[in-house]
Each structure stands twice: as structure tokens, then as C-alpha cells.
Structure 1
Amino acid sequence: MQFSTAPYSPRTYLPAGIDLTDLKTLEGLYGRLQADLEAAATAAELETWLASYGEVDSAIDQARSERYIAMTCQTDDPEREKAYLHFVEELDPALKPRQFALWQTLVAKPAFEMLPDYYAVFRRSVATAVRLYREQNIPRETATAKLCQSYQKISGAMTVTFDGAEQTLPRMGRIQEETDRARRQAAWEAVAARRLADSEKLEEIFDQLLVLREEIAKEAGFADARAYFFASRERFDYTPDDCLRFHDAIEKQIVPLVREMQAERKAKLGVDTLRPWDLAVDPEARPPLKPFATGDELFEKTDAIFGELDPRLKGFFDVLRQGGLVDLENRKGKAPGGYQANLPEARVPFIFMNAVGMQRDVETLLHEAGHAFHTLAAREQPMNWYRNGIPIEFCEVASMSMELLGAPYMGKFYNEEESKRARRDHLEGIVKFFPWMAIVDGFQHWLYTHPGHSRPERKAAWIALMDRFGGIEDWTGLGDLSEARAYLWHRQLHIFELPFYYVEYGIAQLGALQVWSAAHKDRKAAIDAYLSGLSLGGSKPLPQLFEGAGIAFDFTDKTIAPLIALVREEMAKLG
């Protein structure tokens, strides 16, 4: 793992040779920033201070990011782990209150409101953070974090005995793709029983989380927890009612398509009734796709896709290779999963993956490349905050668009039939996501606007949403295991750990589908607009970021209906 970490712009505020891992040094640095801020009186002086702060923040963020990358690339190296944990356990907690003190001082400055329009989005974010802060909520937030850890611990410890050995639930999930139906059913039942065994513990944890979150919201002066979380997630540009209308549009435009897809699946499988264990297997009993053998092959063929799409995208992708900014192959000692991390001072991205030769790996690299393109397209934004503080609703447009724009070039990996299969599976996955998102988001709207509700009421609310947005699969005749449907939400970590954080992905997916739709008419114009929007970073409110990319910030029937019509048309072509 070798990559260039040289600052994109020369340092002017930080002393040469400064050790960004030494707490005393960092405390001194924050003390200097605080003193300089207190001395700043005019908008021009605040701009100078913000540039200095941005330099410090970028350098510290990069030092943390470098250590995270190093640790995840080799988890069996105790020195790497120690270096990263030093940052998150010792440095970050000590710097957090100092950081907040800077924001309080900044917001209190009369000149803060006189900063030029360029700083409007930043001003709004910082003012909101200061407005929501209550010292009395710190113990509640600590208690919340501990309960979330308990949820993780219980979920992570779930295993079942299957095939004569102890199996994790993710490993059991793979059995759902096998063609032996009786075996899929046995695996599904084993997992459902295991999850139900801990349902009481998880309900207890969630009861406590609800009370704490309601207290936090009340302490901060909000009528309910939903209003608090919309403010804390900086949802300045859409409302709870907008989300509920989004759910209505999904019910009308997308749920019928999902149910049609399931009816087609049932017919292809040749079963009388579609069951929960029939939803992941290939309906034509084909073996999994095998797109590549090595990480190098994955990179080269993806690079060729970008070469076909646009020379600017290929140029960005080549930056990753030349800078040693990718680690793609699965190997012993690597952390699981995948991510795109920023190195904010160098203004470059890093892509981490665990590719094992599956179609999902191809989609993941296209996705993470989209995030990387965002980092590179926005690198000329003067303000660090705007280069790295981009709303998730727009960040994911960058990545999801690349999955869709790259799909027509799957021939780099497959023959024609395989390519069609990969593309259709991808579109089906997008379609199926929307109703699940509406269930998860709708459930949280209900949870946080019904304080003091009982567990039976909560269960009924979830089942009503499953009935409204769910598929045609049959859950009857399962005995005690039929209860599994009522507790499916226990597996969705966002509901426990990240309240109201999920609808963003639905909003972004609509944006990505619009980029894809535009590319059907004029690919170059669509990519021009896409890159133009990405270059804005987080410098504009969400509607203007979408507009900058040539797409509408709208999640009503008006936007959804033509997109789903195009998806139907494409799926029909792909067979």
C-alpha cells in the first residue's frame, strides 16, 4: 500500500514537521485556532481564519484516514491497529469539545452572518450544530451508544448449527442462493428461529433507545424525536411530509412492478407458492456469474468501461492506479467489506474492497469509483468543508449513477447472455430496494411520532407496512416461525443505530436513475452535467446540487413514473 499523501496546496498555517498524533501538540494547535478566531472581527478576517482551520482539519483528517486505511489493509498487524485506536480513543474525544468551542465562538461573531454567500451552506450547518447542542444530552448520547453496542454484540454473536458446523448468519445467507429448495427452507428456518430467540432482548434495547431519543429531542426543544432528527441530519430542503409522499409514490409506481417480478419468479421456479426462501435463488437455476479471476483483471476491465464511457472518467480512474490508491483483492488479514476513503489534504480518494470474483464486486467497484470521481471533481472547491461535507443524498448519486452508466458495458466481463443477466439482476435489485426503504423509513416516522407506544402497537405498525409495501411471498403455515415477519426490522441496523438514516439512499437512487435516463438521450451531455454537479462538492443546498447535475430534486409521481417506465422497458429488452 503506497500512495501519495503530499498536500494538494502548500501548508501555510501548520508548523513544518508537526506531529499530528501528539495530543499536547494538537491541543496547542486548537488553542492557537481559538485565539486567532477570538481576534478576528471582520468577515475578511473570518475567511482567513476558515482557511487556516481548513488546513488544520484536512491534515488531521488525513492522518486519521491514513491510519484507518493501513489498519483495514492489514488487521493482523498490532502496530497499525494501535496507531488507529490512538486516534479514535485518545485524540478524537479530547479534540471534540475544542472543536465545538470553535463553532460556538464562530457563530457568536457578528461578522459570521456577513460572510459571503459562498459560505451560506456552511453557516447553516454550523449554526444548526450549535443550536442543537445541550450538555445535558451528553450522558444520554453515551447511554445510546452503549445500547447500540449491545445491539451489535447480540447481532454479531448469532450463529446456527448447520451442515454439522457452527455457521454465521451471513454465511447462511449464501445458502438462499442454492438451487436445492428443501435445503434453502431448512437454512431459512434455522436463521429465523435463531433471530426470534433474541427478539425479546432486542425489543428491550429498542424500548430504552426510544425513551433516550425522546428525552434528547425534548431537551433540545423539539416537539418530537422526528423533528429533532430531521434537524440533526440537516434536512433543510425536504420535510417529513415529502418523505411520506415519496412512500405513496413508491406504493403506486414501484410496488406493482416488484409483485409482477415475483410472479414471474414463481412461474420460472415452477412452484405453487412463493416462500421467503425462494427470493434469492436464480429462478433459472443458473450458476453464479464469474466475471474475473484477479483484482488486476477487475481493475483493467473496469478501466476499459470508463474508457468507453468518457475520457474524463478514465482519467480519474487512472489517477487511482498511478497513485496506488486501490486495494481490491480479498486476502488473509484484510478487514471485511468495502469503502472509499478521502485523503483530504492530498485531495485524493482511496478504494478498499474484498473482490472474490463475483458480479457484486464489479458493481461495488463501479459504485466506489463514482465516490472517487466525486472527490476528484470537487478538489478545486476552496473550502475543505465543501470538499468533504457533501450530503449523502447527493454523494450516492455520484456512486449509484456509475453502476447504471457502466452496466451497458458488461460485455467487458461477459458474453452477451451473461451480460444481459447481470444487467437485469442489477435493475431488479434497484427496484426491490425502494419498497424496503419505504417500509424502514415509514416505520421510523411511526415510531418517533407515537411516544409511549406498546410493543403490540409497534408490531402492528410494522406488519401494516409489510402488507402495504411487501411482496407476494407466503408466510403462512410456519408455526412459531411466522412471527419472523413481525421482527424483520431487527436485522436493519439503521433502525437501532442511525434513526431516520435510510431515505437518503432512495432519494439518491432516484437521482442516479435520472442521470441514467438522460444518458439514454445524450450520453456526453448527461456525463457533462454529472461532472458539473460533482464539482460543486457540498457548496450548494441539495436542490441546487441536483440541478447542477441536470436532474430534479423531486420524489413524487411526476419524477418516479417515467423512470420506472424506462426500467420496465430495459428489463423487457434484457429478458
Structure 2
Amino acid sequence: MSVDPTASFPDFAYERPDLEANEAAFRAVLEKLESAGSINEAIAAVEQIDSIRAAVATAYNICYVRYSIDTRDEFYKEEKAWFDQHLPATEAWRMDYYRTLISSAHREALEAKFGRQLFNTAELSIKTFQPELIEDLQAENKGYSEYTELKGGAQIELEGTTYNLSSIIPLEQVADRAARKRASKAKWDWMGEHQERMEAIYGDLVKLRHSMAQKLGYENFVPLGYARMNRTDYGPEQVANFRKQVKQFIVPIAKDLAAKQAERIGVDRLRYYDNNFRFPDGNPTPVGEMGDTIAAARKLYDGLSEETGFFFRMLEDRKLMDLESKDGKATGGYCTYINDYGAPYIFSNFNRTSHDVDVLTHEFGHAFQVYSSRHQKPMEYNWPTYDAAEIHSMSMEFFAYPGVPDFFGDDAKKYLYGHLEGAIRFLPYGCAIDEFQHLVYENPHWTAADRNAAWKRLEAEYLPHIDYTDHPFLSQGTYWQSQLHLFGMPFYYIDYCLAQICAFQFWLKDEENHEKAWEDYIRLCRAGGSKGFLELVTLAGLENPFLDGVMEKIAAKVTERLGELS
């Protein structure tokens, strides 16, 4: 199917792929790669395989975006279910490709052409799949889709009005403590009403993933989870040391900041409905309506660089963003890439809180990166692994600071303080989610109550400043059930923490020398996924976030700046 590379997203053609025909074409090219008589023939085969895989990915991502925009749309709901059922079979193609690639007679020349990272990915990935796992992968997709649709369809009644999980958030941030308690309670009451279903979905996913790991010869899902995340240059030991440093250097800062927040807003202790209310006269709110936020972003990116100005206008012109919260829309925000159109897509749920700016600048960072590396070959290099990818997005939040006065007007200073404070306070939560996953997959026999008890213990270690005792659902240790990554992307969360330490470094570099910081950032974006995480960190001129001392040094600088802003 031919595509118009200048088309707008509503005009992107969707057609369910003929996987049987795709596989036949794929295997014909695979034979050419295996029997290639020259390096040029081998390179041509790799590029043809890329083209076939990209066509399937294009169809899936168009479907996924349209399904996310309205999870009640029967056509795309059915198409998404079809992909959930059939896409796992394409993993067999990919693994056969990787086996052929690493055993190629032209391997040395292929490495010289495409780089070592492709082969690192291939060698690690073939340890994650066997054909007998296809039904398990189908079931895994189905479980995540069920969780997504459950939350996307949330109807929360409050004082005669119906809200969803995104639109109720502004009510949780009002100055009237009783009012925000009613809103927050209503939201968490809804979660409590669906607790049994969410726990059952997650319990089934844990058992399923443990079973897959054992079929592949692993003791449990932890090493398989790391391999599926394509972590080629670090493992659980380095991550455990990172979490240890967060407990040592960041948790005390977060606890102190929470105490200052409680004093600032006039409460004795932060309850669950106080946590997101940061200032006594109200949280920073974007000026005007959604169109004003878009206009401020356009001005920001026009001023940041020629590349970003052009790119933001392209996103607008080609309708590559869906930002407004709507009923039936999947929760959260993401950026994906529609290969054949060379088009990133930004998905979000604006609700007129400061989070609108956070998520827009964050996802713009992802989109700008993948657009910058769209010409990278093979397609494995369009995106880096998630840990590196989050450097682009979280750093872009800091590069966006010059636009804060246009986004927030008189609330600009409050936003800068809140964003920086939120970034440092996120680290303990992110590490708690990661340690929780390690515990869960190391103990696959745990009941739902065991998992909740484990989360409650982790809250006491990482988040001692939050009090959930007056909500029957949250007091059990159930907050984790709202975190979609746990259900759909196991072990994808420490990535945000690693990237946050790198993003702080970009922020500090940017304040010292903007031109040099931006040059390093562009170089990182263009590299895509052509190198592993630690190699990309070095390429960007950043310090390794795992090394002792790096976090302590950054924490001190962030604390100093917060003191200046308070």
C-alpha cells in the first residue's frame, strides 16, 4: 500500500495487514540474507526486511492511536484485539531474522555498516522468545487491553457531574481541602470498586510472565524482563545500587520538601488528597484555554531552534497530536512513531492543570528524537531503549523553561518550583515501583494481599510523608494499581529515574552554556538507538547515573536551586 508522506493523520490509510503474505515476503528475503554472496546483497536484504516490518508496525500504530483516542470505537477496538491475537506470531519472524543476522558470513562487514548495537539487540532478543510462547503473549496483550479499557471507561459521579480519571484531576487540586478530599475520594472509591478485577488481571499477568520465563529456562521473570527491555549494558545489581542511592540521598530531601509543603498549605500532615496541592493560593494553571497552551508551545519551539520550530508546526499541520481529555479516551500520554509516514504522534489528556505543559513538552521530546533519527537504519535504531529515550523527553521539559512565562503568566515562578520539586520527589516513587516489580516477580506465588503488603512496606521506605490511612482502598497498599506500566510494560519505570538524573545534568549544562547543551542534545537525538544506554550517555557528555557520587552531587544542586525559588 502506497502512502503519502505529507498526509495528515486523519488521512492515514489503515488496512489490516495480511500477515500470511507479509510472512511469505519476509521469509523470501530472509533466504536472500542467508545466501547473500556479497555484503551489498546482505545490506539490501536487511533494508528489505526493515521495509516489511515497518509496514506491519505502521498499521499497528495507526490502529493503536485511533483505539486510544476512543476505546469504545467498535472498529478499532476489534482491530486492536486482532493485533493482540496475531502480532505475537511476528516475533518468530524477528527472532529468525536475528539468528540469520548473527550467523551471517558477512557479519563483520554488517557490523561495520550498521554498528554493534544491532547485534547486541539480536543476541539478547533471541533469549526472550520461543514459538510455544505465542499463546502466552496473546494472553498478555489481552490482559493489558482489559486493564486499559477498564480505566478508559471510568465514570466517576461527583455532585451531579460525571468525570473520567483525567477530567477529575483538577478537582483534586483546588484550595478547598474538603472539596479536593471529596474529588480524590470519589476517584479512589472508583478504583476500590474495581480492585478485585484489577488485582485479578495483574495476578494473571504475573503468573503468565513467570511461566514464560520458566519455559525459556529462567528462574523467574526478572532476567527475562530485563532482556525484553533490551538492557545490554547493565543489570539488576546496578539498578539496586541506584535505588540504594535514592534512599540515601533523595528520600530525605523529598521528606523535607513534603514537610515544607504541608506547612505551606497549612496542614499538619499530607493526606492522600493533599499530595498534589502544592501552594496555598492554588497550583500553577496554564493561561487561557488549550489553544493558548498550543500557541505558547509554538512560540517556545520557534525560539528554541530552527529544527524545533519547523517540527512543531509540522505536528500541527499534519494533525499529529490529540491532546484533549475525552470520555472513552485511554488514560495517560505517550508518543509513538508511524514508520511509513515518517510521523511521530503525540497523545495526551489535557485537563487544564500544569501537567498539560509537563506532558506536552515531555512527549515533544520523544517525538523530536524519533523524527531526528527517522533515517537511521535499521529500524531498531529509530528509537533507543526506554531508559535512553526518556532522557530526550525529560530533558526537553527543562529546555522548555524559557516558555514558562507564556504558558503560566503570573504563575511562572510557582511552576518552575513545582516542576523542579516534582522531578526530585518523583525519584523515590519511581524506585518504589521498580523494587515492587522485582519483589513481585521474584515471588510469583504471592497473593494480591501479599503484593499490597509489599507495596505498603515500600511506601514506608520511599514515601514516608504520604498518609493513606483514611481511605479504605489506599490504606491496604493499593496505590500501585493505578500505574499502567506495571500491567503493560513490566520493568519499564526505573528508566524514568535514570533519565531524570541525566535530564538534571542537561538542565545544569543548559544554564551554563545553552549552545553547547543544545548541541549535545541534538547529537543524542540523531543517534537514536544506534548505541546502548551507557554509550548514549557518554555521547551526550553526561555522567553515568549509576556511579556513586553523581546523584549526591546533583541532589545538592537541585536543593540549592529550590531554596532560591522558594
Q: TM (normalized to structure 1)?
A: 0.85
Residue 417 of structure 2 corresponds to 424
Whole-Å separation in 1 of the counterparts to 2:217 and 2:236: 18
Whole-Å separation in 2 of the counterparts to 1:546 and 1:356: 34
> Quick check: 1:280 aligned with 2:276?
yes
Q: 1:347 Cα shift?
A: 3.3
2:403 to 403, 409, 420: 409
CA contact (8 A) 1:75 1:333 kept: no
Moved more, 82-91 or 20-29: 82-91
1:362 to 349, 357, 380: 357
> Quick check: 1:384 aligned with 2:379?
yes
Whole-Å separation in 1 of the counterparts to 2:446 and 2:69: 45
Residue 267 of structure 1 corresponds to 263
Residue 433 of structure 2 corresponds to 440
Counterparts of residues 36-55 of structure 1 (less than 5 Å): 36-55=32-51
Residue 32 of structure 1 corresponds to 28
> Quick check: 1:232 aligned with 2:209?
no
Residue 302 of structure 1 corresponds to 297
Gapped regions of structure 1 (runs ≥ 5): 8-18
Residue 12 of structure 2 corresponds to none
> Quick check: 1:395 aligned with 2:386?
no
> Quick check: 1:256 aligned with 2:247?
no
Amino acid at match of 1:386: Y
Residue 513 of structure 1 corresponds to 504
Amino acid at match of 1:497: G
Whole-Å separation in 2 of the counterparts to 1:570 and 1:23: 55
Residue 15 of structure 1 corresponds to none
Q: 1:89 Cα shift?
A: 6.6
Change (3 A) 1:176 1:254: same
Residue 486 of structure 1 corresponds to 477
CA contact (8 A) 2:170 2:352 kept: no
Gapped regions of structure 2 (runs ≥ 5): 8-14
Q: 1:186 Cα shift?
A: 3.6
Amino acid at match of 2:256: E
Partner-residue secondary structure (3-state), 2:127? helix
Whole-Å separation in 2 of the counterparts to 1:505 and 1:554: 12
- Post-superposition CA distance 1:63-84 (Å, at most 9, x none): 54455556767889877x4996
- Post-superposition CA distance 1:280-324 (Å, at most 9, x none): 2243133652324353x4344223223443344334434445x52
Whole-Å separation in 1 of the counterparts to 2:242 and 2:117: 25
> Quick check: 1:574 aligned with 2:545?
no
> Quick check: 1:495 aligned with 2:486?
yes
Whole-Å separation in 2 of the counterparts to 1:541 and 1:256: 32
Residue 171 of structure 2 corresponds to 175
Moved more, 153-162 or 25-34: 153-162
Change (3 A) 1:485 1:553: farther
Whole-Å separation in 1 of the counterparts to 2:459 and 2:241: 17
Partner-residue secondary structure (3-state), 2:261? helix
Whole-Å separation in 2 of the counterparts to 1:82 and 1:488: 28
Amino acid at match of 1:513: F
Change (3 A) 1:481 1:302: same
- Post-superposition CA distance 1:198-249 (Å, at most 9, x none): 4445444444433332221121111222122112221121111111111111
Residue 131 of structure 1 corresponds to 127
Moved more, 533-542 or 146-155: 146-155
Change (3 A) 1:262 1:78: closer
> Quick check: 1:547 aligned with 2:542?
no
Moved more, 529-538 or 223-232: 223-232
Counterparts of residues 306-325 of structure 1 (less than 5 Å): 306-321=301-316, 324-325=318-319
CA contact (8 A) 2:365 2:393 kept: yes
RMSD: 3.5
Whole-Å separation in 2 of the counterparts to 1:350 and 1:161: 32
- Post-superposition CA distance 1:507-564 (Å, at most 9, x none): 1111111111111211110111111121111111211111111112323442212222
Q: 1:106 Cα shift?
A: 3.7
- Post-superposition CA distance 1:338-390 (Å, at most 9, x none): 44332434534344455565433233322222222212322343433212x42
Q: 1:437 Cα shift?
A: 0.7
Change (3 A) 1:367 1:96: same
Counterparts of residues 180-219 of structure 1 (less than 5 Å): 180-219=176-215
Amino acid at match of 2:505: Q
Change (3 A) 1:313 1:334: farther
Whole-Å separation in 1 of the counterparts to 2:23 and 2:217: 32
Residue 558 of structure 1 corresponds to 549
- Post-superposition CA distance 1:149-170 (Å, at most 9, x none): 4544655566554314555444
Partner-residue secondary structure (3-state), 1:285? coil
- Taking only the aligned residue pairs, the percentage that are identical comes to 25
Amino acid at match of 1:272: D
Whole-Å separation in 1 of the counterparts to 2:558 and 2:65: 37
Amino acid at match of 1:467: A
Change (3 A) 1:300 1:131: same
Whole-Å separation in 1 of the counterparts to 2:203 and 2:337: 37
Q: 1:180 Cα shift?
A: 2.3
Q: 1:20 Cα shift?
A: 8.7
Q: 1:115 Cα shift?
A: 2.7
Whole-Å separation in 2 of the counterparts to 1:290 and 1:360: 9
Residue 452 of structure 1 corresponds to 445
Amino acid at match of 1:298: T
> Quick check: 1:534 aligned with 2:529?
no
Whole-Å separation in 2 of the counterparts to 1:442 and 1:454: 17
CA contact (8 A) 2:345 2:367 kept: yes
Partner-residue secondary structure (3-state), 1:277? coil
Change (3 A) 1:52 1:427: same
Instruction: Answer with 1 or 2: which has the greater Rg.
Output: 1
CA contact (8 A) 1:258 1:471 kept: no
Whole-Å separation in 1 of the counterparts to 2:186 and 2:341: 49
Amino acid at match of 1:291: V
Whole-Å separation in 2 of the counterparts to 1:201 and 1:353: 26
Whole-Å separation in 1 of the counterparts to 2:248 and 2:28: 57
Whole-Å separation in 2 of the counterparts to 1:82 and 1:272: 47
Change (3 A) 1:238 1:211: same
> Quick check: 1:467 aligned with 2:460?
yes
CA contact (8 A) 1:67 1:83 kept: no
Partner-residue secondary structure (3-state), 2:400? helix
Partner-residue secondary structure (3-state), 1:254? helix
Q: 1:195 Cα shift?
A: 3.5
Whole-Å separation in 2 of the counterparts to 1:465 and 1:64: 37
Q: How many residues end up aligned between the 2 structures?
A: 555
